[in-house]
Structure 1
Amino acid sequence: MNDKFLNQITEFIFVEDKAEKSDMIFIPGSGFPQLAEEAAKLYHQGLAPYILPSGKYSILNGKFAGVQEKQELYDGEYETEWEFLKEVLKKNQVSEEHILREDKATYTYENAIYSRKVTDCLGMEIKKAILCCKPYHARRSLLYYQLLYPETQFFVRPIQDSDVKRENWYLTEKGIRLVFGEVQKIGEQFEDITKEMSME
């Protein structure tokens, strides 16, 4: 197996940082509770005073796709990803007044766009932020949030409870499909964005 080749892909897609004290924890929309559980853990460690989950539902589904794991713990009826993630945070003892709301986004770029609108409306200056996401979604999430928060220093904290992560993604068909799907999406989505930026 060509380790040097695999390492290049791994280092590009699987971003992971040591979290530092920040102004905000962002969660891109998801039906996986582990993202909000990780955010709650960081919140209780005193690493950020606020959490902003984002998401209506995937534009591909047209409705909330449902709780993807741990349905026995989170068995409510949820209309949006935000509503679900908020419930996970509350069940993990995050104070409701510290959970901000963004429930319009239907894909990752909108997660970042509408999150920026929320923090701007609240007059919040986000100098440092933590981003909780799935491991293979880390680079694309970071690119979008960094695009909308150009002055912010981000610390990416991918969840550990995932069957596709940096240590094993190349060992399964699912992992290979997801990772190269991310590579493809980054190329397709950021080509147009970069062209628009170069014309400004």
Structure 2
Amino acid sequence: MNDKFLNQITEFIFVEDKPEKSDVIFIPGSGFPQLAEEAAKLYHQGLVPYILPSGRYSVLNGKFAGVQEKKELYDGEYETEWEFLKEVLKKNHVSEEHILREDKATYTYENAIYSRKVTDCLGMEIKKAILCCKPYHARRSLLYYQLLYPETQFFVRPIQDSDVKRENWYLTEKGIRLVFGEVQKIGEQFEDITKEMSME
């Protein structure tokens, strides 16, 4: 396959930055504990005072889909993605008073929308933020959070423990499906958002 083609898709979808000291870590809703585990590592490095996991459950499922990996470590009953991610953070020694709450969002755009409402209600000025997400979800997550926090400098920190990442996504059917699924979702969802913005 054409290397230039692969490189362009890879650079677009797989965003990754070296994290810097920030005001908060955002975690879009998920049943994968690695997102909260990565956030806990950064928290313990002294990079942030607060972590804001977000999520009720997927609008497609209508309920929390369950723990996706490491069920032997996180075997509780969870009503929402936020509740699950909070438990992962606590088990990784993050102080509960430093875990913020957003448990209404049912898809990624809402993760960003409702997270903004939380930080506004708390009177937080978010100058810098770290975004913990799955590698192939990085661009779409970043676009949404940038829409809601246009003045914020973001540092995207994708989890390392993922079977689909920038080095290998094009080698498996699953990787190709997930990455081009993201390309499709970005096109469809941001077409609608752009139309709405142009009418305001």
The TM tier, using the shorter chain, reads over 0.9
Alignment of 1:36-75 (within 5 A): 36-75=36-75
What SS does the corresponding residue of 2:52 show, helix, strand or coil?
Answer: strand
The superposition leaves residues 98-151 of structure 1 with CA deviations (integer Å, 9 ceiling, x where unpaired) of 000000000000000000000000000000000000000000000000000000
Q: Distance in 2 between matches of 1:193 and 1:7?
A: 27
1:199 positional shift: 2.1
SS for the counterpart of 2:65 is: coil
Q: How far 1:195 moved relative to its partner?
A: 1.3
Whole-angstrom distance in 2 between the partners of 1:46 and 1:190: 35
For the residues of structure 2 that align with 1:3 and 1:160, how far apart are their CA atoms? 23
Give a deviation string over 1:177-198, Cα, whole Å, max 9, x none. 0000000000000001111212
Q: Distance in 2 between matches of 1:97 and 1:33?
A: 20
Distance 2:183 2:2 in 1: 19
What is the distance in 1 between the residues matched to 2:61 and 2:3? Answer: 37
- 1:21 deviates by 0.4
List aligned pairs for 1:11-26, cutoff 5 A.
11-26=11-26
Determine the C-alpha separation between the residues in 1 that align with 2:50 and 2:163.
28
Q: How does 1:1-200 map to 2 (within 5 A)?
A: 1-200=1-200
Whole-angstrom distance in 1 between the partners of 2:156 and 2:97: 24
Shift of 1:8: 0.3
Q: Look up the SS of the partner of 1:102 in the other structure.
A: coil
4+ runs deviating over 4 angstroms: none
TM-score w.r.t. the length of structure 2 is 0.99
Could you list the per-position Cα deviations for residues 46-91 of structure 1 after superposition, in whole angstroms to 9, with x for gaps in the alignment?
1110000000000000000000000000000000000000000000
Gaps of 5+ in 2: none
Secondary structure of 1:104's partner?
A: coil
How far apart, CA to CA, are the structure 2 residues paired with 1:45 and 1:10?
Answer: 29
**Cα shift at 1:35:** 0.0
Taking only aligned residues, the RMSD between alpha carbons, in angstroms, comes to: 0.5
CA distance in 2, matches of 1:153, 1:197: 22
Distance in 1 between residues matched to 2:11 and 2:5, nearest whole Å: 10
Q: 1:2 Cα deviation (Å)?
A: 1.0
Q: CA deviation at 1:5?
A: 0.5
SS at match of 1:179: helix
Structure 2: distance between partners of 1:199 and 1:67:
40
How many pairs were matched up? 200
d(CA) in 2 for partners of 1:7, 1:48? 32
Separation in structure 2 between the aligned mates of residue 115 and residue 196 of structure 1, nearest angstrom: 21
Q: TM-score, normalised by structure 1?
A: 0.99
Offset at 1:168?
Answer: 0.3
